[in-house]
Amino acid sequence: MKKASIYLRAIALAAATVGTAHAGGFDTIYEDRDVTSLRPRYERGWRNNYDNVFSKALTDSERSRLADVRFGMDLRLAGREPFGFQGGGKTVIASAASVRFLEDIALADTWLDRNGFSTQSVGDYLLMLRYWDERKGRPPRPLEALCIPGNAWENRDVADRARRIFDTAVVFVLLHEYGHVFHGHPGNRTVRPEVSRANEEAADRFALDLLARVGEVPLGVAVLFFTMAHLSEEVAGTHPVSPDRLMSVARHLSAAAHSFERGLTPGAHVTMLAISLEVSQFALLLGDPDIQRLSARIGRTVRPDDLAPRPKGRHLAAPCGSRASGEPFDGRLTGTVTGGTTPLDVDVVLSRNSESVTGSYSFGAGFARLDGTMHGSTLNFRWTLPPDGGAGRITLQGGEYRGTWGNGDSMTDGGPIKLRRDP
């Protein structure tokens, strides 16, 4: 049977300029001009593949129930972005803006990974969106916030992988909506939470079963649920994501792996198990209160300037396009900061203007801000990592930056600091 290959690009996306920010939060991540030309391509791609691939894999019962379904694509679905997909009655509707969002996330995640950078910056971006204050205007789009170069699609390895992730993520989402229609589910906002969760799981199984029938490994499901888990508070009303739902998906992926083992796709069995494991890990993280508190702290403290590509294992890089002068207390530093008896790896980015120094630092538990004044080779500073704050002092000594930090008005009761310039 013909494999699904849904959104092969006819054009390379060019980064559009950001227009005037206006109310609407996620509804305005993209302006009309960002998605208008893409909508017919997205819609045509899905119709062709549904008609030529997935409808042929339906059972007689499924084909009968879905025979009169109308599919449409709007520019956006107000109040549902960036997961503007819905199915009910005899209608499935998708948002071109939401499809574009998934495409951008797939490209960003792939480009960062293929170039040796940490993909956690994608997660930090999503957490920033979860806690975005609409009073700050339009949220930044994924590719511009994450500093993905405009020619990223020109790298064949990146493009092939990103397209597979994107294609199967969107296919899964749309088949999931057809699953709601097949089962006759009402909207999630009209039923009890436990009914909503059961309906989501049934629609997930419908989508995964169809993907298995056509032999398409759902590579994008991991990135999709990674995205949904990081935006969980924002998607809960229309597409509830919970640890139970994710574990159900993981179990179904693991069980379906055996169908690929029979020769549909060489090597797919191992890939399916790897995806299953990844989704189950998302379930554990989503269900861990400590992890969710940490996620909230990251989401409330991260800024767009904190999202520049950073090497794997690092917490922070200098903002895109910034240049360090080479002077003391200007540029990237790395080292350890000790709290009590525990040294933590920390990354610091400083910007110096005469004797004034501002900056950010992170050890993986949020993004703190620093503001201080130099006195010779010593920097006295205040730091904030809401709801906490304090003071500190760092002195440049023979190429090393050594000092202490404290809480409140103390500069010393927190522990020692040891930094070096990051090459």
Show pLDDT as tens, one digit a residue, over the chain (423 residues): 344 443 322 222 222 222 222 234 788 899 999 999 999 999 999 999 999 999 999 999 999 999 999 999 999 999 889 999 999 889 999 999 999 999 999 999 999 999 999 999 999 999 999 999 888 888 999 999 999 999 999 999 999 999 999 999 999 999 999 999 999 998 766 788 888 889 999 999 999 999 989 888 899 999 999 999 998 755 555 567 889 999 999 999 988 877 765 545 566 678 888 999 999 999 998 889 999 999 999 999 999 999 999 999 999 999 998 888 889 999 999 999 998 788 999 999 999 999 999 999 999 999 999 999 999 999 999 999 999 999 999 999 988 999 999 999 999 999 999 999 987
C-alpha distance across the termini of the chain, in Å = 52
| Cβ–Cβ under 8 Å, residues 58 and 78 | no
Q: What is the pTM of this model?
A: 0.89
Q: How many CB atoms lie within 10 A of CB 36?
A: 12
Domains and CATH numbers, the chain: 25-300 (no CATH), 324-421 (2.40.128)
Q: What pLDDT score was predicted for residue 135?
A: 84
